[in-house]
Chains A and B, each alone.
Chain A
Amino acid sequence: NAGVTQTPKFRVLKTGQSMTLLCAQDMNHEYMYWYRQDPGMGLRLIHYSVGEGTTAKGEVPDGYNVSRLKKQNFLLGLESAAPSQTSVYFCASRGPGDTGELFFGEGSRLTVL
């Protein structure tokens, strides 16, 4: 029972490079989220999706793009990485109904030099 899986788990980029983080969930959840976590700042929402083919901006969307072409996958892209994007990225999914329960992946640690 995999739950939410993120790849890659670690990555080092140079400024200006691009990359994509992949999130996959096997729980048939409609809602998926990308957060970043920096020391002392908690979890900040980057983008989220309420279903296949939909995306919406969160608190800190600048410099990121997302796509939800398949229900089980939510991709986070950095077109031109900057050192300010050095962070730990968490993907999460949520099931239906009146619930505040998010299921998180193990995180992807990104360093931009």
Chain B
Amino acid sequence: GQSLEQPSEVTAVEGAIVQINCTYQTSGFYGLSWYQQHDGGAPTFLSYNALDGLEETGRFSSFLSRSDSYGYLLLQELQMKDSASYFCAVRDALGGGNKLTFGTGTQLKVEL
């Protein structure tokens, strides 16, 4: 089966850089996604890595190492509005690459 591990909570100060790690175990791997969710709201897509390396989108970057079954989300120049839950999700080979399995989420608290 699939399993994903990410820290349950991370705290950082405004303006800082924070890294949220995700390790996964899966029987077959297509790619790793990241989502942001504010309290009670719909998850919103941030990034997707299918290949090794770093993807940058504004203040957010995502990294993948397929050989290490590991990825991270990097948030730079933290703002108060970045306080939210962040989920990694694996798109795996079960179901022909059409299933996305989510981790349990990391709650990020940004403080002044």
Contacts and interface: CB of A to CB of B under 8 A. Distances in A.
Contacts of A58: 99
B103 A42 contact: yes
B100 A102 contact: yes
Given A58-B99, A102-B100, A107 B89 contact: no
The secondary structure that dominates the B interface is strand
Contacts of B30: 98, 100
B42 A98 contact: no
Contacts of B32: 100
B60 interface: no
Interface string A99-112: 11111111100000
B26 interface: no
Contact of B43 (A43, A45, A100): A43
B98 A50 contact: yes
